[in-house]
Amino acid sequence: MARTCGIRIGTKRFELVVLEGGPKKHKVVASASGELPRDGDDPVGAAAKVIADALKATKAPVDDVMVALDTGLGAFRTHKVQLSDRAKIEETLKFDVEGEFPHLTIDDAIVDFEMLDSAGESSLLLVTAVKKDDIKRNIDLLAKAGAEPMEAELEATAMYNAAHAAGLLVADKAQVLVHVGEHATCVVVVDGGKLREVRAIPFGAHGAASSSAAAPVEGDAAPAAQVPVDEAKRALQAAQRIRRELARTVAGARTANAVEAVLICGLEVPGLLDEPILDFDTRRLEAFTDETGRPDGSAGEFVVAYGAAVRQLGGAAITASLRREELRYSGTWERLELPLMVLALLLLLGTGVWYRFLGREQEQLSGELAFWRDSARNFLVPEAKSGRAGYVAYPSPDFVKLLDGFKNPENETPPADQLASMQRMLQAEVLKLEKDLGQDAEIQQPQSALTGLSAVLGVLDSEIAKGTRPSLRKLASTYTVGRGGKGDHVHIVMDLTFFADDSVTASQQFESFKRALRSEAWFREMEDKQSKSIEGGKGISIQGFAVDVDCSKIQTVKS
């Protein structure tokens, strides 16, 4: 039968429960609890030894352990996102909620979430953030004790899973679950059997949290002598403070069902269960029955450890994950390690064979290119001794020197690069000769006013084919040098008349002509003028209609 171990690590003590069985039917076979030492030169080692002794005494399965951490380490927020796919929420949530945890550097925290409600493409989430260092400190402590946990969660989800496994959560009622720790109290609001709210009260059975209340870390020194505390007075203060905070939580809880009771577990606080809270019954969270068996000592202290152990058996309603970034790919890698290794070897073998074939092909091509290079040299350069005239009658000394350098056996330049060098030098020589002859293609010629005017009249001619009846009264075309960031262009001004049966039709023909101009690649801008209806209403006239044309674009289109 399956055996699992659940451990709760608090600020001053720990509890562990060993279960045997299945998710629905299991039994407590062993349990242990104890204080975490904080004195001596090696407090972490001393604490790890205490836990290791407990694991050995209970014969706990150290390879199947779940740990529940102190709720005071976490921060909780409700957050609404416009997503319903858990995978997509996982990808973006950490950055979406960064502003909601101002006390944390989000890159140094683990962010987990539980989906409270989902409607369409939006979801309401309960988001938990815990510092990576806090998680690592507790994981390292357990690893030193010989039992590295499979996963980690907070007391809140472990307590909820314990209550769910015990059948305490019903569909038509609401409950408030409370776990009292050493320096923090965890409050979980459950409505209709579903988790609705989580809150951490920074006050526990031993008072408020302080820097000395954290779990031991490497390098801790022995704590300074403490002033004796009146235990009765501290218990009274703890009960009053926790009851006051619980009253606020219960009063502010928004549940669809009536709150049945406040169920309390964890460390014993005298006076906490004496009276109702806001007329709601307060009673112990009884997660253990005769069928499941009861741990040694106060059963309430072991509820969280029990919930963690149930999680390992597969009976959890909520599966929180605080080691997600550390363990996300570990199982996948173990499954893919051998196939990936074989694939890598095949790729290496294939690359070697391919490299060998490429080497042979390169040798063949280099020989052919070398023959081509020598042929090109014999074709281009004249040879005075043999009386052979070359294609280049008077090659420059630099070009001849370049070609002679290719004959050097110590020249390791590939033939393809040698041919490219010859081509670049020939092109440079051609450009130099063109400049000497005044044929420099880089000199920009002025744009033709006639070409620009012809382009505009060509568009007007195409409009005539559509039934337009224009009349030109005046034409002017001027080449304009570019200024103020504008390039060279041709400025055309015309007075024209559009004849038609009425002025409306003539205006439509004028608008069609302007649209046709704007669609041309050479069109730059247009200075529109107000049209006037001619006498008799048989058309319109326009004076000073101006169009700017970029003739360089006309040449590009023609070519």
> Which pTM value belongs to this model?
0.59
**Residue 364 confidence (pLDDT):** 87
The average pLDDT across 133-150 equals: 92
Tens of pLDDT, residues 531-554 = 899 888 889 999 999 999 999 888
SS (H, E, C) 333-386: HHHHHHHHHHHHHHHHHHHHHHHHHHHHHHHHHHHHHHHHHHHHHHHHCCECCC
**What single-letter DSSP state applies at residue 534?**
P
The percent of residues above 90 in pLDDT, for the chain, comes to 47
Please, is 485 exposed, middle or buried when counting C-beta atoms within 10 Å of its C-beta (0-12, 13-18, 19+)? exposed
Classify the C-alpha dihedral 346-347-348-352 as positive or negative: positive
Tens of pLDDT, residues 490-516 = 999 999 999 998 999 999 999 999 999
Q: Which three-class secondary structure state does DSSP give residue 555?
A: helix
The helix or strand, by DSSP H or E, that contains position 474, with its residue range, turns out to be: strand 469-480
Q: How far apart are CA 206 and CA 183, in angstroms?
A: 6
* Closest residue by Cα to residue 288 from 297, 278, 276: 297
State the chain's mean pLDDT as an integer. 86
**Residue 559 confidence (pLDDT):** 42
Tens of pLDDT, residues 391-404 = 777 788 888 888 87
**Residue 387 confidence (pLDDT):** 72
Q: How far apart are CA 176 and CA 477, in angstroms?
A: 89
Flag whether pLDDT at 225 surpasses 80.
Answer: no
Categorize the per-residue pLDDT at 265 as very low, low, confident or very high, splitting at 50, 70 and 90.
very high
* Closest residue by Cα to residue 96 from 84, 86, 106: 106
Flag whether pLDDT at 184 surpasses 60.
Answer: yes
**Residue 329 confidence (pLDDT):** 44
**Residue 333 confidence (pLDDT):** 54
Q: How far apart are CA 47 and CA 474, in angstroms?
A: 103
Domains of the chain: 3-328 (3.30.420.380), 335-436 (no CATH), 449-558 (3.30.70)
Please, is 318 exposed, middle or buried when counting C-beta atoms within 10 Å of its C-beta (0-12, 13-18, 19+)? middle
State the residue for tokens 């450009």.
Answer: 431
* Closest residue by Cα to residue 200 from 158, 234, 245: 245
The helix or strand, by DSSP H or E, that contains position 558, with its residue range, turns out to be: helix 551-558
Q: Which two tokens stand for residue 483?
A: 């200024």
**Residue 229 confidence (pLDDT):** 58
Mean pLDDT check: name the lowest of 242-251, 255-264, 284-293, 375-384. 375-384
Tens of pLDDT, residues 405-429 = 887 777 778 888 888 888 888 888 8
Please, is 240 exposed, middle or buried when counting C-beta atoms within 10 Å of its C-beta (0-12, 13-18, 19+)? middle
Look up residue 146 and give its amino acid.
Answer: G
Flag whether pLDDT at 154 surpasses 90.
Answer: yes
Q: How far apart are CA 155 and CA 304, in angstroms?
A: 6
Tens of pLDDT, residues 74-99 = 999 999 999 888 888 888 888 888 88
**Residue 555 confidence (pLDDT):** 62
* Closest residue by Cα to residue 181 from 95, 59, 290, 304: 304
Flag whether pLDDT at 33 surpasses 70.
Answer: yes
Look up residue 144 and give its amino acid.
Answer: K
Q: How far apart are CA 498 and CA 470, in angstroms?
A: 4
